[in-house]
Amino acid sequence: DLYSINRSSLKDAIVHFGGGCTGEIISPEGLMLTNHHCGYSQIQSHSSVERDYLTNGFWAMNKREELPNPGLTATIIVRMEDVTELVLKGIKDDMSEKVRDSIININIKYIEKDAIKGTHYEAKIRPFYHGNEYYMFITETFKDVRLVGAPPSSIGKFGGDTDNWMWPRHTGDFAVFRIYADKDNKPAEYSKDNVPYKPKHFFPISLKGVKENDFTMVYGFPGRTNEYLPSYAVDMIVNVSNPARIKVRDERLAIWDTDMKKNDTIRIQYAAKYASLANAWKKWIGESKGIKRFNGIQKKEELEKEFTKRIQANSEWNIKYAGLLDKFKTAYNELTYYTIPNDYFIEAIMGIESFTLARGAMPLLELSLMQPVNNEDIKKQTDKMLQGAEGFFKNYNANTDKKIYAAMMELYIRNVDKAFYPAVINDLQKKYKLDFNRIADEVYAQSIFTDKKRYMDFLASYDAKKSKKLLSDPLYVIFESFWKLYLNQIAPNIQRLNMEIALLQRNYMKALREVMPEKKYYPDANSTLRVAYGKVEGYEPMDAVKYNYFTTLNGIIEKEDPKNDEFIVPEKLKELFDKKDFGQYGINGLMPVAFVASNHTTGGNSGSPVIDAEGNLIGTNFDRVWEGTMSDLMFDPDRCRNISVDVRYTLFIIDKFAGAGYLLNEMKIVK
């Protein structure tokens, strides 16, 4: 039922949505559910001040009103295959990693190409168990995916960043799309002649509801997990890397927040950027706290002790695996040293928006310095940059970015070892005594990268001779010095150590499965199709606190705050609540909204179907609880919970709130 190549199975209704989220097909006419936050940019792209679908929601009242989304894809798995033997053909134990990698890459290209010969499919081979196994995925990608409906943000994003990663949660985080195909049911670019895709399978929707301890399963495309790291790695992440990245983002978020609160234009310009910066920031905080409370590092150390004991007692294992953990220790010690400048460079220095624009000028400089100069290529490049600039400056405030600039420079200098200061720091010390506010004032008043008109004018009249002006731009000079430092002193070391660690991790993974076979090993997430299973259950995050497993509309009314745009409740929803007009979706006078369960999920599982023991849809996954975000490193079924919208709330909103109940006619409802 989960997977079959001979007949239809559940996997035929699972969609990799836009490459980053998951979706599920819920009708024989290609109707698909995913999260509101997954469809956010599509909903935004159809919105304007006059037709603000983000604020008011959108519902197509028939198929002709559905909105096409150029560039959006829906990928379905046709089949998968263990190709380990083929991929590792020609590999010998004593090969260097470089040689090994290049043989593997050649093998992969060949196998992939061969697998899809004469079809419209695509093939992707991915390493599993850190390169001990390889699987191939044959996929079919649909390119005409239309927006059918989305609730207003006051439902789809209710609770905003305040409630993000938190339980109890009351977000109706769903959106509805439809996949279209050509008349032969094959993928095709958008055309008005396309017809709704006829899937091999779609999920029946259960209105039976969820009870504590019910079986649940999540089927989707989780992005990345790292369950088999040694203690040294977890130590580095939670005690060095996360704190550095959190500290930098604390400052960036605070500066943006102050300016957004002062000015509505800035608030709108920075809303989406703020949300995505805050999302990972909050996850890291939860992750570090969770590992500490769970004694995660200590647990890893205990496992390593037992591992070492068993190896020492077995001469064959001793030959193969002794010294593995010591090598990890040395490598992570060194990596920890480079991680600090690396994190500060990526998070602080490249967090300066004008620097990202300066980075974008590097290809132009390269073209300008080429002999002979190709003016056509230069023109193409400046056209591209001019186009990109519209989007950049639309959501850019130079004064806000100037504050970020001064703060980030200061942070870097104060927290990073002098060995990683860029050359330009000497000049800045001599000329300005490293007074970054003064430096920022001067640089932002002059640079072409901090003003739309200066930037556009410069590019519009650009020719290769003007590269001198670019190279001497006060902002570019400082950016380039940092960039060179990163390229020469940070990146190569990080790369070298990661390569070393990849080899150790591959051997460690193999060793763990061999030496401790009584444990269960599921491969780390890698954006390929996975199932997770668990139970509907609440949890106890700390002493004296116990969380129930579901929330209801009552909680939305309790959280309402008309003065805070994250907690506005639409009038219509309040009316339905007052009249207890919940239709067939409510139960005992309550309208269920969300529930938690012990499925191991991660980023990418957003929009994944949550399925009951009969394969019916009971919810759509959209988040995890804060106390459990450590699950990317260590999953613990006692405290890690995924959060789903109850499908009854989804249908209630579609039917009773939005008046788009006609969509239910094409669904299969199980009562």
Q: Which residues bind ligand ARG (CB under 6 A)?
A: 37, 157, 160-161, 164-165, 275, 279, 603, 606, 623
- Which CB atom, from 336 or from 644, has the smaller least distance to ligand GLU? 644
Q: Is 187 a binder of ligand GLU (CB under 6 A)?
A: no
Q: Give me the catalytic one of 12, 144, 161, 173.
A: 173
Tell me the three state secondary structure of residue 27: coil
Instruction: Name the binder of 235 from ligand GLU, ligand ARG, none, CB < 5-8 A by kind.
Output: none
> Contact with ligand GLU (CB under 6 A): which of 601, 616, 644, 650?
601
Binders of ligand GLU: how many residues, by CB under 6 A? Answer: 10
Does residue 606 touch ligand GLU according to CB under 6 A?
A: yes
Which of 278, 478 has the CB closer to ligand ARG?
Answer: 278
- Is 16 an annotated catalytic residue? no
DSSP conformation letters of 495-529: HHHHHHHHHHHHHHHHHHHHH-TTS---PPP-SS-
Minimum distance, C-beta of residue 395 to ligand ARG, in the bound complex (Å):
17
Among 75, 107, 598, 605, binds ligand GLU (CB under 6 A): 605
Amino acid present at 13:
A
What single DSSP character describes residue 536?
A: B
Indicate which of ligand ARG, ligand GLU, none lies near residue 164 (CB less than 5 to 8 Å, by partner kind).
ligand ARG
Query: Which of helix, strand or coil describes residue 199?
Result: coil
Residue 225 lies near ligand GLU (rule: CB under 6 A): no
Distance, CA of 278 to CA of 162 (rounded, Å): 10
Q: How far is CA 227 from the centre of its chain?
A: 18
Closest distance of CB 202 from ligand GLU, Å: 22
- C-alpha 70/C-alpha 67 separation (Å) is 10
Write each residue from 16 to 55 as x if it is in contact with ligand GLU (CB under 6 A), else as -, in one continuous string: -----x----------------------------------
Looking at 25-33, 319-327, 363-371, 621-629, which segment touches ligand GLU (CB under 6 A)? Answer: 621-629
C-beta of 37 vs 300, nearer to ligand ARG: 37
476 CB-near residues (< 8 Å, 6+ apart): 358, 361, 447, 449, 470
CB of 490 to ligand ARG, least distance (A): 28
606 in catalytic set? yes
Q: Is 158 in the site for ligand GLU (CB under 6 A)?
A: no
423 burial type by CB count under 10 A (0-12 exposed, 13-18 middle, 19+ buried): exposed
Q: 165 is in the binding site of which of ligand ARG, ligand GLU, none (Cβ under 5 to 8 A by kind)?
A: ligand ARG
| 3-state SS, one letter per residue, for 375-427 | HHHHHHHHHHHHHHHHHHHHCCCHHHHHHHHHHHHHHHHHHCCHHHCCCHHHH
The catalytic residue among 37, 130, 170, 201 is 37
Closer residue to ligand GLU (CB): 107 or 602? 602
SS (H, E, C) 29-61: CCEEEECCCCCHHHHHHCCCCCCCHHHHCEECC
Length of the chain equals 671
What residues between 321 and 380 interact with ligand GLU by CB under 6 A? none
CB of residue 653 vs ligand ARG: minimum separation in angstroms? Answer: 17
Residue choice 604, 609, 615, 619 for contact with ligand GLU (CB under 6 A): 604
Exposure on the CB side of residue 207, measured as CA atoms within 13 A: 15
Evaluate whether 353 touches 400 at the Cβ level (below 8 Å). no
* Cβ at position 305, least distance to ligand GLU in Å: 31
> Between residues 623 and 646, which has the closer beta carbon with respect to ligand ARG?
623
Is 216 a binding residue for ligand GLU by CB under 6 A? The answer is: no
The nearest distance, CB 206 to ligand GLU, in angstroms, is 22
Q: Are 87 and 134 in contact (CB under 8 A)?
A: yes
Residues 6+ apart with CB under 8 A from 139: 16, 75, 76, 77, 78, 121, 122, 123, 124
Question: Would the CA dihedral through 353, 354, 358, 360 be positive or negative?
Answer: positive
If the CB atoms of residues 150 and 515 are measured against ligand GLU, the closer one turns out to be 150
Pick the catalytic residue: 606, 608, 631, 644?
606
Among ligand ARG, ligand GLU, none, the one that 252 touches (CB under a kind-dependent 5 to 8 A) is: none
User: Do residues 218 and 599 lie in contact, with contact meaning Cβ atoms separated by under 8 Å?
Assistant: yes
Q: Is 173 a catalytic residue?
A: yes
- 617-624 and 642-646 strand pairing: antiparallel
For ligand ARG, the closer of residues 538 and 604 by Cβ is 604
Which tokens go with 295? 């004694």
Of the candidate spans 89-97, 180-188, 369-377, 618-626, the one that interacts with ligand GLU by CB under 6 A turns out to be 618-626
**Beta bridge mates, 623:** 643
CA atoms of 11 and 200, how far apart (whole Å):
9
The number of angstroms, rounded, from the C-alpha of 245 to the middle of its chain's C-alpha atoms is: 17
Query: Which of ligand GLU, ligand ARG, none does 160 bind, CB closer than 5 to 8 A by kind?
Result: ligand ARG
Only segment of 63-71, 81-89, 479-487, 597-605 that touches ligand GLU (CB under 6 A): 597-605
Pick 199 or 603: Cβ nearer ligand GLU: 603
- Residue 622 contacts ligand GLU per CB under 6 A: yes
Task: Report if residue 201 touches ligand GLU, rule: CB under 6 A.
Answer: no
Residue 603 binds ligand GLU (CB under 6 A): yes
625 — phi, psi (to 5°)?
-85, 150
Q: Amino acid identity of 137?
A: F
Pair type for strands 669-670 and 205-206: parallel
- Taking the complex as a whole, the smallest distance from the CB of residue 22 to ligand GLU amounts, in Å, to 8
Q: Given the complex with ligand GLU, which of 27 and 620 has the nearer CB atom?
A: 620
Closer to ligand ARG by Cβ: residue 157 or 201:
157
Is residue 602 involved in binding ligand GLU (CB under 6 A)? yes
Tell me the residue number closest to ligand GLU, measured at CB: 606
Q: Name the nearest CA neighbour of 467 among 355, 371, 349.
A: 371
Q: Which two tokens stand for residue 313?
A: 């007692």
- Our CB check for ligand ARG shows the closer of 165 and 412 to be 165
- Helices marked H in 486-624 — which ranges? 491-515, 553-559, 571-578
Which among 383-391, 404-412, 536-544, 602-610 is the span making contact with ligand GLU, rule CB under 6 A? 602-610
Binding-site member from 287, 353, 451, 623 for ligand GLU (CB under 6 A): 623
Q: Report the chain's terminal Cα–Cα distance, integer Å.
A: 21
Q: Of ligand GLU, ligand ARG, none, which one does residue 652 interact with (CB within 5 to 8 Å by kind)?
A: none
Contacts with ligand GLU by CB under 6 A lie at 21, 601-606, 622-624
Which sequence positions are flagged as catalytic? 37, 173, 606
